[in-house]
Copies of this chain bind each other. A is one copy, B any other.
Amino acid sequence: MGTTSKALTLLDLFTRSRPQIGLSELARLSGTNKATCYRLMSELVEHGLVEQVVSSKEYRIGPAVLRLAALREATVPTREAALPILQALAAATGETAHMSHLVAGQLVTLSFAYPAAHGMRVMMEDADRLPFHATSSGHAVLGWMEDAALARVLEGPLATAPGLVPVTADDLRARVAAARARGWAETANTFEADVSSFAVPLFDAQGQVQGALAVAAAAPRLTDAARITIPRQLIAAAREIMALWGGHPPAELSALWRKTEQPTEKVQG
């Protein structure tokens, strides 16, 4: 592995639940030598990608990423442009909507919107990685990635939090297949308790999966009617978002979506 990759791997260790990390812990987590780790972090600090808290000497993500992010949004406005659509989706469904992106093989929630309607909401945190195996977004994207992607996930841990629905390998394969066959994915109580989640994949101009659009609904108030309308609203919103990007779903998915949107029409050979 290249040295640069090692340094960048260190960045991946910073998460929402672990935003500041000391040198020793960082070395432990990354499996690198402390001296190595120190040097790498020093270089990251030098460029502002990471900064060191003066009091505790812990490291945390630095201000340079803000410039890069602003520049990214200026060149490829994926996030900001999609936000209004996300908000409309949240308003229409009355549930939390969120969009996640496939970055470096991981699924990262980058934007979300809450409905104004209900007091109870499914809360989301951005900048968090979603596990492929336990989220509808994960299933939705896996359905349209190379088979190797699913294989990689199956090699990893498939644990769900205690009290939630466990996911076995066969289970996951079936869920991903179902997501592909149906055009959208649905999960319940796999990632968060009492949350039912619906998701569709998002594609770029090259027809590559880029991420997923999802609605996370409070299970107790999920009606049968909502079970039918939410996928339709998801599909409509996904189309809007992809239109912004110049992306489009593969023909196969497009056909599935049309069936979902117009369930009364029979497909005519």
Please determine whether B206 and A54 come into contact, CB atoms closer than 8 angstroms.
Answer: yes
Flag A7-48 by CB within 8 Å of B: 1 or 0 each: 111011011100110000000000000000001100110111
A101 neighbours in B (Cβ, 8 Å): 63, 66
The verdict on A2 contacting chain B, using a C-beta distance below 8 Å, is yes
Q: In the bound complex, do residue B5 and residue A46 qualify as a contact, i.e. CB atoms below 8 Å apart?
A: yes
Query: Is there an interface contact between A61 and B75, defined as CB atoms closer than 8 Å?
Result: yes
A2 to B36, CA, bound (A): 12
Contact in complex: B11, A68 (CB < 8 Å): yes
A contact residues, range = 35 or more
> Does the CB pair B75–A69 fall under 8 Å?
no
> Which residue of chain B has the shortest Cβ distance to A11 in the bound complex?
B68
Tell which of B4, B5, B9, B74 touches A127, judged by Cβ atoms closer than 8 Å: B74
Question: How far, in Å, is A58 (CB) from chain B's closest CB?
Answer: 11
Are A64 and B104 in touch, CB under 8 angstroms?
yes
Chain B residues with Cβ below 8 Å from A9 are 47
**Is A71 in contact with B16, judged by CB distance below 8 angstroms?**
yes
A108 to B62, CA, bound (A): 13
A79 to B70, CA, bound (A): 11
Which residues of chain B are within 8 angstroms of A5 by Cβ–Cβ distance? 43, 46-47
Residue A3 interfacial (CB < 8 Å): yes
Which residues of chain B are within 8 angstroms of A12 by Cβ–Cβ distance? 47
CB contacts (< 8 Å) of A7 on chain B: these are 4, 7
Is A251 at the interface (CB under 8 A from chain B)? Answer: no
Please state if B4 and A75 are interface contacts (CB–CB under 8 Å).
Answer: no
A-B contact pairs, 7 of them (CB 8 A): A4-B40, A14-B68, A48-B103, A62-B72, A63-B78, A63-B101, A74-B126
Q: Which residues of A contact B (CB under 8 A)?
A: 2-5, 7-9, 11-12, 14-16, 19-20, 39-40, 43-44, 46-49, 54, 60-76, 78-79, 101, 103-104, 108, 110, 125-127, 205-206
